[in-house]
Structures are given as structure tokens and as C-alpha cells.
Amino acid sequence: MVEWTPDAGALYERVHQQYVGGARKLEALINELIGEEEGINYLSATARAKDPESFLAKASKPHPDDPTRLKYDDPLNQITDLVAARVITFLVEAVDRVCEVIEAEFEIVEHTDMGAHTRAQGVFGYASKHYLVRLNEHRRELPEYAVLKNLVMEIQIRTAVQHAWAEFEHDIRYKLDIPPDRKPEFDRRFLLAAALMELADNEFTEIDRLYRELAASASDKAPVDLTTSTLTTYLTRRYPDAPHAKTTHYAWILGVLHRLGVTTEEQLTELLRGIDSEAVQAAMTHRAPAGTVRRLDDDLLAAKGPAYLELFPDEERRQKILRGRLKALTRAGIIQS
């Protein structure tokens, strides 16, 4: 067995804080892309830098075909999870929407669909989407992303159910020395849990479908005050094919409506009267299907025009985004210049 020299480990320990800063940048970027810009409903998006101890352990692994040499000749450049992110969603459809954003916003080095792999084997199991990515060409030139400029990073996307299974399975399989005679028992139970995991994800999707169906059939004739709950139902009814947004986003758009003096469903319906929401979406350049809150945000912009920007006087970034959307609506003839 070859002995590992600590040179790369010592170097990584010296530069570790740079990768910690890079992880913060990646985490903020992903949250901005899937949350602020696309309005996808997700549980969390976090990133971390590999700690020096884990780096040394991975860099010291022997080559699988030749135990006399190390797996990595240049671990600082060959190990691909020095900075890694994980996005956890509630529904499977949100996993697909996050993947669309990742594929549009990053340079994809490698993509592994773990669910497709397990299905091809005719078994149940982990269904996460794994990406190795680099920053796109534009962001590589921005000084704020200098630490990530040439780095290959890992991004995993999975549902909360898949996440729970994966974390528990990892703790048991890789941290516990299971005797060979007990291994089949553990394998069988993990397989059963994986089947239940797939069933749970499918049932959550079906519950979401039933909720949309119920919301669509609800009457909107009686005057109803807008709350986060009634607004959620209203938007589900107005945009039946749009994915749900994060709970915090409904509270945010409710605050926007209050600034517009809109406090009831009747007032909101009147404000949006004459707005062709499908035409508004056709004018936009959203990478993934817009969620309910983003649909309302776009329709409010179409209804109020430049005056809508005045609601956000101190939000420079949002002003920039809205100006871009305003130009799109003007080009499409929805708003007159």
C-alpha cells in the first residue's frame, strides 16, 4: 500500500477558507436562480466546502486497479466536490425544474440520473440528480466569482423524501461495519424503504394534483379577504398549470398587493382584468415554467407598467430584473412604450 504524503493536504488546509467563501457564493447564486428568479418551491439549497480532514481521507484513497499507487495524482484538481451544493425540494416536478435551471445557468461537465440507473436495473433506490458543473463563461469573468472561476463543483438535487433515505442509508452502510451474515437483512430492508420512498414521492405528487383540482372548482364569487392561505388557493385557481411557490413567496407577494391597495380577491380580479396571462408568459424568457407567484408578479407588471417598479425604490437588483421584463412586455406589444 502506497503511503500518502501530506503535501496536498497541507496546501488544501491553507486555502480551505477560500473554498468556504466559494461555497457561500455558490449557495447564494443557486438560491438566487431557483428562488428569486424562477420562484421554484424548494425546501433548501445549501453549499459547503470539503473540510480538510475529509479531503485528506479522499486524497489518500488507493487506485481501485492498482493499490500500490494513489487514486488521485493531483487531488486538488481531480477531486470534484471541494465545493458542493445540494438542493432539496418537496415534489419531484420541482427537481426537474431545478435541473432545467442548472443546465441553463452552468457549464455541465457530467450529469448522472441516479433514478434512471436504478430503474434500468429493475429495482428501487436513490433517485437523486447529480451534476458536475463549472460556472458559465459570463460568470467566470466576474470578479465576485474569482475563487470558483476554474473549479469543477458538484450539485445534487433530490426530494426531501429521497434526502432522508440517502442520509440514513449513508450513516448505516458506510459508517457501520455490518457482518456479512447480516448484510442481506439490511439490504432487503433498505430496498423496502426505497420502494416506500418512491411511493411517498408519487403520493405527494398526487396530493398536489388533487389540491389543484379542488382549488380550480372552488367558487370565487363571494368576496374574500386576501391572506397567504386564500391567495395560495386563488393563484392555484388562476394558474392551474403553474407549480406552487415557496410559502415565504406568497407572503411576499401579499405584501406587494397590500402596497397596491389590493386586499380582496375581488380587487385582485379587477386589477388583472384584461391581462392575457398566457401572452405575458410567452413574452418572458423564464428558463423553467413560472410558478404561481412569478405568474402573478409578471401579470402585475403587465397591469401596472412602469408604475410597478416604484413599489421597490430601494431594491436595485429587483429594479434591474423588472426593467428587463418590462422591455420584454413592450417588445411583445403588451405594454405600450
CA 5 to centroid of chain Cα atoms: 39
Residue of 7 and 1 predicted with greater confidence: 7
Asked whether residue 245 carries a pLDDT value surpassing 80, the answer given is yes
In whole angstroms, what is the distance from residue 299 CA to residue 305 CA? 10
The sheet that has 106-113: what strands, in order across it? 42-49, 83-89, 153-159, 129-135, 106-113
Asked whether residue 271 carries a pLDDT value surpassing 90, the answer given is yes
Percent of the chain predicted with pLDDT > 70: 91
Q: At what angle do helices 247-259 and 228-238 cross, to 10 degrees?
A: 90
The domain spans of the chain are 4-159, 218-332
Cα–Cα distance list, 227 to 92, 130, 153, 224, 265 (Å): 27, 38, 41, 9, 10
Residues 262/226, Cβ–Cβ less than 8 Å:
yes
**The three three-digit cell numbers of residue 83, written as one number:** 465545493
Mean pLDDT over each residue of the chain, to the nearest integer:
86
**The three three-digit cell numbers of residue 189, written as one number:** 430492508
Residue 323: which residues within 8 A CB-CB, separation 6 or more?
A: 309
Among candidates 224, 226, 235, which has minimal Cα distance to 297?
235
In the CATH scheme, what architecture does the domain 4-159 have? 2-Layer Sandwich (3.30)
Please state the pTM of the whole predicted model. 0.75
Q: What is the pLDDT of residue 3?
A: 46
